């Protein structure tokens, strides 16, 4: 297959090779540069001295190098985007009872505690009432009900952040025979400090729930759509 002959110009005025490439191709670095003396014209006797600055005239009348546009490198625009957590829906405030729509606890009612830095919501069952531990959930997978638990005097511990809920890195398999046959496949016990954290976090929430009649059994019950019920008609 014959090589296609390269055109000198990609388009009228735009050469295929950049100025530096042309310079090196022509080996112009070998040619000694001749310095031209800059000639300043002194006004002849009797002629008017021009009051217009010479450089300005040069600048205004200079022809734009058509090729320079193609040779200019575009600088990337500096972005001013900031990573921010998604806005919390107005209906979700600390103490709101939420309905989980997906995941392991779908249909269950939980209490909202606070929004974490990542934007996920920190919720708790409370564990004593419905078996749901401190957990993170995305607000898109949750319906906020109008029922609120009074958590005004309660402050969520600062230790409950995204780092606390991150999954532990699973240990890499070393390829031993025992591992292959699954002898090590025992359920890891839930870390004791997390059980203790759950108790301290839930203490005030459970107390606030106990003040409202039927709220504890409400949180223990789950939500479901019955026959003929359309979600768009429901008032949450």
Partner 1 sequence: MAVLYSKGRFLGFKRGQRAQHENTALIQLENVNSKEETTYYEGKRVAYLFRAPTAKKGSNIRCMWGRITRPHGNSGVVRAKFRHNLPPSAMGSTVRVMMYPSNI
Where does this chain bind partner 1 (CB under 8 A)? 89, 91, 101-102, 106-107, 139-144, 222-226, 228-233, 236
Nearer CB in complex with partner 1: 9/222: 222
First to last CA, the chain: 73
Q: Tokens 């000694």 label which residue?
A: 32
- The Cα 216–Cα 211 span in angstroms is 9
> Residue 96 Cβ, how far from partner 1 at the closest point, in Å?
11
Per the DSSP assignment, residues forming a β-bridge with 115 are 121
Nearer CB in complex with partner 1: 70/101: 101
Contacts 24+ apart (CB under 8 A), 195-203: 197/134, 197/157, 197/159, 197/160, 198/124, 198/127, 198/133, 198/134, 200/157, 201/113, 201/124, 201/134, 201/156, 201/157, 201/160, 202/124, 202/125, 202/126, 202/127, 202/128
**CA angle 46–51–53, rounded 5-degree value:** 125
> Residue 139 Cβ, how far from partner 1 at the closest point, in Å?
8
Helix (H), strand (E) at residue 69: helix 66-71
> Residue 219 Cβ, how far from partner 1 at the closest point, in Å?
15
Helix (H), strand (E) at residue 215: helix 215-220
> Residue 98 Cβ, how far from partner 1 at the closest point, in Å?
10
Give the three-state DSSP class for 137.
strand
Nearer CB in complex with partner 1: 154/223: 223
> Residue 233 Cβ, how far from partner 1 at the closest point, in Å?
7
> Residue 135 Cβ, how far from partner 1 at the closest point, in Å?
16
Nearer CB in complex with partner 1: 111/142: 142
How crowded is residue 228: how many other Cβ atoms within 10 Å of its Cβ? Answer: 6
Nearer CB in complex with partner 1: 132/208: 132
Nearer CB in complex with partner 1: 109/208: 109
């Amino acid at each position: 297959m014959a090589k296609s002959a390269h055109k000198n110009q990609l388009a009228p005025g735009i050469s295929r090779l950049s100025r530096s490439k042309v310079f090196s191709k022509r080996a112009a670095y070998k040619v000694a540069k001749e310095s031209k003396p800059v000639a300043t014209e002194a006004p002849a006797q009797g002629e008017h001295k021009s009051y217009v600055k010479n450089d300005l005239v040069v600048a205004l009348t200079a022809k734009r190098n058509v090729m320079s546009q193609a040779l200019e490198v575009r600088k990337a625009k500096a972005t001013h985007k900031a990573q921010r957590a998604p806005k919390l829906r107005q209906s979700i405030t600390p103490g709101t009872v939420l309905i989980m729509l997906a995941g392991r606890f779908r249909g269950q009612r939980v209490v909202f505690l606070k929004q974490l830095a990542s934007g996920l919501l920190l919720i708790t069952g409370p564990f004593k009432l419905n078996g749901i531990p401190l957990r993170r959930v995305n607000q898109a997978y949750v319906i906020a009900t109008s029922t609120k638990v009074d958590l005004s005097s309660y402050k969520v511990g600062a230790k409950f952040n995204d780092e606390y809920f991150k999954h532990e890195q699973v240990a890499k398999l070393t390829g031993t025979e025992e591992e292959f046959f699954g002898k090590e496949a025992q359920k890891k016990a839930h870390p004791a400090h997390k059980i203790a954290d759950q108790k301290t976090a839930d203490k005030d929430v459970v107390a606030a729930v106990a003040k409202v009649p039927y709220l504890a059994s409400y949180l223990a019950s789950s939500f479901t759509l019955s026959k003929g019920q359309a979600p768009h008609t429901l008032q949450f």
